[in-house]
Chains A and B, each alone.
Chain A
Amino acid sequence: MIRILTTAATEFRIALRNRWVAISVVLMVGFSLVLTLAGSAPTGGLGVDRLSVTVASLTSLSVYLVPLLALLMSFDAIAGEAERGTLPLLLTYPIRREEVLLGKLLAHLGILALAVVLGHGMAAAVSILAESGSVAGLPALWRLSWTSVLLGATFIGAGYALSSLSRRPSGAAGLAIGLWLGFVVLYDLGLLAVIVADNGGWFTTRAFPVALLANPADAFRLYNLSASAAASAASGIGGAAGAIPLWQSLLSILLWPLAALLAARAAFQRVTP
């Protein structure tokens, strides 16, 4: 346990000096504030409180930003050590490879959680100050926060796996960007294209819900939007959200971090320094 903690403390210190802590917090807080302030306009017509509407916007923000921050922090984890030449020495120490990964995860996830909590906290503070009825949106915001951390864990694990596979930071960075584009941007576009072509056939009714659950980013969006009172205020995914039971998207959110970390472990075990 002490080995995991000292690894986490050292990684956190490095992230602090490399400005990753500052970058993550500034991005999350900045975007959250912008969305909170800009999202205030449509509240009147929807009949929901201000914070609930903001949560819908923050969900869309988190889907893009949390995986990106997670990958940016994690892609260097193994490949960077290999390139600097610090990996062989580390692996002769009495620390298991799982402990190395868990230590790094603890630090990186901690930073991400800090950024999420500060960002969402700001959004809540601003909303409640402007309109006391916004307190009604707090449960949704809380749900968004912890699912964001789980989404981050998924992409941090994926980043470690890519980092172990590519062995070089430049290669790992490329793979990380590819993964982000694939899961967060192109996946939905692809689904949309198939649905349009399918025109209400087998894919739309049967395969589409499974395809949404199979992507951690989509499962995250589904869970938060279908659980939130602001589902109707959100994007077109709201319709699909209604068709998929809540427990299924929750299960996807819970299983993905485990799967990603197991993949990272398997990839790291195969690294020979």
Chain B
Amino acid sequence: MTSTLTISRLTKHFAGVDALTDVSLTVAPGECVALLGHNGAGKSTMMKIILGLIPATSGQVLVCGASPGSASARNQVAYLPENVAFHPALTGEEQLRHYLRLRGQDAKQALPLLARVGLGDAARRRIGTYSKGMRQRVGLAQALIGTPRLLVLDEPTSGLDPVSRREFYALLADLTKQGASILLSSHALTEVEARTDRIVILSKGRMVAEGTLGDLRRSADLPVMLHVTARNGYAPEIAKALPAAIQVGAALHLTCPQTEKLAVFGQIANLGDKVADLEVLPPSLEDIYSHFSTRAMQ
């Protein structure tokens, strides 16, 4: 099957700033790709180019087989901007009816769409009275209009509480099952976790990592942390047996590469009764993310 989004060697320079350098990416139908990066890493710029809001300096972008911003592309792409905003004087329903008509859809779908994102009760209140999370839901509802083949979501979960975030990802899963492609951005890996098929990390406009979470974990190859708690008085003895460990009160902190993990476990097991407890801390998602994004900056 042909890909929904194809980006090849995309480069964008603003006055004196290299916002994006040589980025290539494809998104297949039914695939959900997360775009990660710090503020200013180039995520929003890349999205705006895909949407045709700003032109690229060089490189090629194809959206559903058309050029970005063309009538055909706009008909098939939905967008949720970062900090989405609406006119405060309109109600959620009025705003959505307007967007439905702009896409040539039946305005009667407004209420069911709002109900789908959990705003059925607030539909007839003015958006000016909504909380940030509610505005975000209106934004999501407008992105669901029609059956978009590509959804471009800029930090869609900011302002959502953990429960809403879970509901939000469930909604996305429904969409990808129907064949829609999703490109979403986020500040943190913890937010996208296991809910996306692929992760792309941007740093200063360059793509520094791409793959599944497992791929990234393996290629980062970050050390494992071990916290060993000694039984009363045995701490110095354990410290002698594990010379690399740092003593913190009754506990000993130790890091070791993934490959030596089992050998160290063996050593600790040999200490027998002297050890009260052992805690293994694998590299967190934040560690993996900062590994890739800071390595590129150096």
Residues of B within 8 A of A89 (CB): 79, 81, 84, 139, 142
Which residues, 74 to 132 on B, are CB-close (under 8 Å) to A? 74-75, 77-79, 81, 83-87, 89-90, 94, 97-99, 101-104
Given contacts A2-B104, A92-B79, A95-B102, contact A13 B90 (CB under 8 A): yes
CA distance A13 to B94 in the complex (A): 9
Residues of A within 8 A of B48 (CB): 88, 273
Given contacts A91-B53, A94-B75, A272-B53, contact A6 B102 (CB under 8 A): yes
Which of B51, B78, B101 sits near A2, CB closer than 8 Å?
Answer: B101
A85 in contact with B81 (CB, 8 Å): yes
Q: Closest residue to B143 on the A side, CB-wise?
A: A89
CA distance A243 to B74 in the complex (A): 55
A10 in contact with B98 (CB, 8 Å): yes
Q: How far is the CB of B67 from chain A (nearest CB, A)?
A: 14
CA distance A17 to B81 in the complex (A): 26
A199 is an interface residue with CB less than 8 A from chain B? no
Q: How far is the CB of B206 from chain A (nearest CB, A)?
A: 23
Per DSSP, chain B at the interface is mixed
A94 in contact with B101 (CB, 8 Å): no
A92 in contact with B53 (CB, 8 Å): yes
B71 is an interface residue with CB less than 8 A from chain A? yes
B98 in contact with A84 (CB, 8 Å): no
A202 is an interface residue with CB less than 8 A from chain B? no
Q: How far is the CB of A162 from chain B (nearest CB, A)?
A: 20
Residues of A within 8 A of B139 (CB): 89
Residues of B within 8 A of A2 (CB): 101, 104
Q: How far is the CB of A221 from chain B (nearest CB, A)?
A: 36
Q: How far is the CB of A126 from chain B (nearest CB, A)?
A: 34
B54 is an interface residue with CB less than 8 A from chain A? yes
Q: Closest residue to A5 on the B side, CB-wise?
A: B101
A84 in contact with B71 (CB, 8 Å): no
Which residues, 56 to 107 on A, are CB-close (under 8 Å) to B? 84-86, 88-89, 91-95
What 9 A-B pairs come out closest when comparing CB atoms?
A6-B101, A85-B85, A17-B89, A92-B79, A94-B74, A10-B98, A93-B102, A92-B51, A84-B85
